[in-house]
Structure 1
Amino acid sequence: MTKQTRAFAARWIFPVSSPPIHGGWVRMDRQQIVEVGQGAAPTDAEDLGDVALLPGLVNAHTHLEFSDCDAPIGEPGITLYRWVGQVIAARQSTTGQAKAAAIAKGLQESFDAGVSLVGEIATLPSEYPSQSDFSPHNQSPELITFAETIGLSQQRGDERFALSEQHVQTQPSGGISPHAPYSTSRPLIERCVQLACQTERPLAMHVAESPAERQLLCGGSGPFAETLKQLGVWDASLFPWGDQPFEWLIDQLAKAPHGLLVHGNDLQVNEIEKIANHPSLSVVYCPRTHHFFGYSPHPVLAMLEHGVRVALGTDSRASNPDLNLWREIQFLLNQRPDIDPEKVLGMGTIQGADAMGRFRHGRFQRGAFAQFNLVPTSANTLQGVYRDFAEQPLKRGV
C-alpha cells in the first residue's frame, strides 16, 4: 500500500449509492474510490474497527456570510416577513472585510463537520477562496456559489443580473439564484432561467417558504405586501401572480439543467406532483431552520413518496445554531421517525450532490472522491446503526 493507494475496512460501510455493507472495505487511489467490497478485506487494508464509514456530507443550501452570528436572528417562531427585515438590517451594517471573514469561518466550520460540497448563496460582491484546484486535501469543501439575483424594480433587477451574469461567466463553479418570489420579478426570474440554460449552470431559488408568500402571490395582499410597502419596494403591477403561482414557477425552474427549490415548507400536493414530473428539479429541506420558524410539519414525506429528490441544507447561522449538516441528519432521525433512515442519510449525501450535478460527491463507488467520515458503532444490525447515528458525533476523515 502506497501513500496514494490505501484501503480501509470497518464494521460498516455506507456507500449510499448501494446498500450498506456489514463488514466491508473501501480502496482508494489518488484520492479516488476504486473498489468497494464485502467480506475479507485486502491484506493491506487498515482496520478502522467499530465504526461506520460514510462519504463526505453535502450541504445543498447555506448563506455563509452570516457565519459570524453567535445565535439566529430574531426569536424562535418569528414570522418570515419580520425576520427578512431584520436580516436586511444586519446585511447593511456589515463590511466587505467582515463578510469575507464570516465566509471563511463558515467554510472551516463546514469542513470540520465532514462536509465535502456546499451549495452557497452568494451576495455579490463577495470574496471566496479559489476553487480551481479543489481536491480532498484542501481544508475547505468544494463550493458551488449561486449568485443571488434580486429585484422588483427594473433598475435593481438589471444591476443584480449584470453581476450574476459576470459571475457565471467567470466562475467555473458558479450558479445563479433568483432570490424568492416575493423579492424577484417574474421577468427577472425568466432571465435567470435563460442564463442558467445558456451557460449550463445550476439554479437555486427560495420557494414556498411560508403561507404568507402564497397569500402575496395569489392575492397581492397580506403581511408580505405590507412589508414590501414598508421597505419602499412595493409595485402593485407585480402582484398577484394568479391562482397557481407555484405551478408557473415550477415549470420555469424546470428548464434549468439543475433546479433547486429551497425550503418548500408550504408546497401543496399538486405542486409536489408537478415537481416529481421534472427530474431536473430537487427540493432542499433545512430541518432545523424549519423548526426555528415554527412552521407546520414539512411535507418532506409526501415529496419522497412522490419520488421527488430531496436534499438537506443548513440555511445559515441567521436561522440555525450552526452549520453542522450531521446535526440536520440527526434532527430528522430523532424527530421524524416516519422517514426511512436510509432516505435521511441519502438526503445529506448523494441527493444533494446529484441535485447540483456533482456526481462524484456523497457516495462510495468507483470514480467518486475519496472523502471519509466516521461514526462510532458496534451494532450488528442496520436498526442499531441508525440508532447510533441518531446519537453519536461524526468525525471527519481517516
Structure 2
Amino acid sequence: MAANGEGGMADIIRALELIHSPTSTNELRKQASAFLESQKQDKSAARNGFLLASQTESQPLVRYFGLSLLEHTLRSSGFSLSSEQLAEVRAMILELGESIRPQDPTYIRNKVAQLWAEIAKRSWAVDWLGMDEVLVKLWGATLLHKEFVLSVLETLSEDIFYREDTISSLRGTDLNRALVEIFTPLSVFEEVYPERGRHVELRYGTEGWLARTCEFLESCIQNLQSSREAKDCALKALATLRSALAWSIPKAVISSNSVATVCHALTCQDDEVRMVRAGHIASWRLIANRWKAAVEALHALYSRSNVEIEDFQPLVHIMFQTDHLVLMQKLYEWSVVDANDIDDTRYTTSKKLSEVGCEKRCFVESYIADRI
C-alpha cells in the first residue's frame, strides 16, 4: 500500500478501520499498525495529514490520525524543515484552526490548538510576525473560535513558562518576551519597556490578551443562565488566566482589572442558587468547577515569588477591599469539609484559599518589616 494520491488516502482509512474493527485478527491489526507507522516517515506525511484532517465528512478517528501525522512532522523535523516547508505546514494548521466547527469533537479542536502552539514555538517572532493579528481576527469570528484562541494561548503559556518543553527551551527568552508583549496592554508595555520602542512589532491592537480575556470572561458571566457555551467558555477563560497571571506584569494585571473579574466569577447569581436548592446536581457541579477555576487563578497570582514588593502591593490592596474579603470568607465557609464526608472540589478550593490567604499575609508582613 502507498499513501500517495486518493488511493493512498483510502489505504490509510482502510488501515484505521481494520485496527478498530472488532472482527479483525491480531495479525491484520499488526500489519495495519505497521503501515500507519510507516506513513509518519513518508515525505508527504504533512500533506497527507492535512488532507485527512480537513475531510469533515470522515470519522473523527481518521481526522485525528491526520492531525497526528502533522504533529509527528513538526516534532521530528520541525527545525530541519526549510522556511518554505515550515510556511506550508503553518498554512495548513491555520486553515484547520479557521475551519473548526461546533460539531467537531472537543479532542479534535484541542489537537488543532496544540498544533498551532507547536508551529508557533518554531517560527513565531522569527519568520512569522503576524500570529497575533491572525489570533485577533479569529477571535472576532465566533464564540467557538474565541474558545479555540484561548486554548492556543493557554497551551503556549504552559509550554513556554511551565512545562519542560525542549522546543521552547531552544528559543531561549524570545518566546517569553513575545508572549508577555501580546498579553500586556500597549500603554503598560511602553511604560515598563520604554527602550523597546523600536523593536519588531509582534502585537496587534492595543488591548493585549489579558484585557481581552477578562472582558470576555465578564461577558460569559453575564450569560451563564442563558447559554451552556458561556459556562464552558468561562472555564476556558479562567484556565487561561490561571496560566497567565503567574507571569504577567503586575501593572498589566491591574490595568486589565483581572482580580475583580476573577472575583466576579466567584459570585453566585439568584437563578443559580435556586437551581442548586432544587437539586440540580449538574448545575451545582458547573458552579463548583467555576469557583474552583477562579480560586486557582487567584492562587497562581498571589503565590508568585519573583515580583518586586512595590509592584505587587496594589494587587494585595485590591484583595483587601471589603467586598472581596466578604466574598472570600463566604467561599471559605462553603469549602470547609468534614473528615468523614470529603468532597474533592470543595477540599481543593479550601486548600487553595488557605494558601492564598497565607501568601497575602506573608506579603504584608514582609512589606511592613522592610519599613521598620
Could you say whether these structures have the same fold, taking a TM-score greater than 0.5 normalized by the shorter chain as the test? no
**Taking structure 2 as the reference length, what is the TM-score of the superposition?**
0.23
TM-score normalised over the length of structure 1: 0.22
Of Structure 1 and Structure 2, which has the larger fraction of its residues in strand?
A: 1
More helix by share: 2
